[in-house]
Chain A
Amino acid sequence: MWKRLSLQSRVFLLLGGLMLTALGGGLVTVWHTDAIDSLVTDLIDQNVASYRAAERLESALLRQKGYVTYFSLDQDPEWLNRLAEHHQNFLHWLERAKASANTPFLNDLLDAIGNAYQDYRQGREQVIAFYQQGHKTAGAEMHRQLRRQFNDLFLLCDRYKLIHEQRIAEAKAVSRFQAKVITHTALVLITGIAVMGLLLGYTLIKQILGPIRDLLRESNPAGLAEAPLDEVQALSQKVHTLREDVDLAQSQLKRSQVTLVQSEKLAMVGKLAAGVAHSIRNPLTSVKMRLYSMRRHLNLTPEQQEDLEVISQEIRQIDAIVRNFLEYSRPPKLKIQQISPSTVVDWAITLLRPRLESFQVTVTVQRRQMLPEIWADPDQLKEVLVNLMVNACEAMGKNGQITITEEEDFLAGIGRVVQIRLQDTGPGIPPAIQDKIFQPFFSAKEEGTGLGLSIAARIMEEHGGSIRVHSRPGQGATFILTLPLRKIKHGNHLNS
Chain B
Amino acid sequence: MQSVRLLLADRNRHVREFLKRELETEGYTVAIARSAQEILTVLGGGEKFDLLILDLEVPYVFEADLLTQLQTFYPHLPVLIHSFQPENPQTLASLHHAVFLEKDENPVRLKETVAVLLQTKAAGRGQQV
Contacts and interface: CB of A to CB of B under 8 A. Distances in A.
A281 B105 CA distance: 12
B24 interface: no
Category for how many chain A residues contact B: 10 to 19
B104 A288 contact: yes
Interface in A256-306: 281-283, 285-286, 288-293
A486 interface: no
B107 interface: yes
| Interface class of chain B by DSSP | loop
B124 interface: no
Contacts of B89: 333
A290 B15 CA distance: 9
B18 interface: yes
A116 B112 CA distance: 172
B18 A293 contact: yes
Contacts of A281: 84
A289 B18 contact: yes
Contacts of A355: none
A283 B105 contact: no
A286 B11 CA distance: 11
Contact of A282 (B11, B18, B105): B11
A289 B87 contact: no
Contacts, number: 37
Interface residues of B, number: 16
Contacts of B103: 285
Nearest to A293: B18
Contacts of A293: 18, 22, 107
Nearest to A288: B105
A330 interface: yes
A293 B20 CA distance: 13
Closest 6 pairs (CB-CB, A-B): A288-B105, A286-B14, A292-B105, A289-B105, A286-B15, A289-B18
23 contacts: A281-B84, A282-B15, A282-B57, A283-B12, A283-B14, A285-B12, A285-B15, A285-B84, A285-B103, A285-B104, A286-B12, A286-B14, A288-B105, A289-B14, A289-B15, A289-B19, A289-B105, A290-B18, A292-B105, A292-B106, A292-B107, A293-B107, A333-B89
Given A283-B14, A292-B107, A333-B89, 14 more contacts: A281-B84, A283-B12, A285-B12, A285-B105, A286-B18, A289-B14, A289-B15, A289-B18, A289-B19, A290-B14, A290-B18, A291-B105, A292-B105, A330-B87
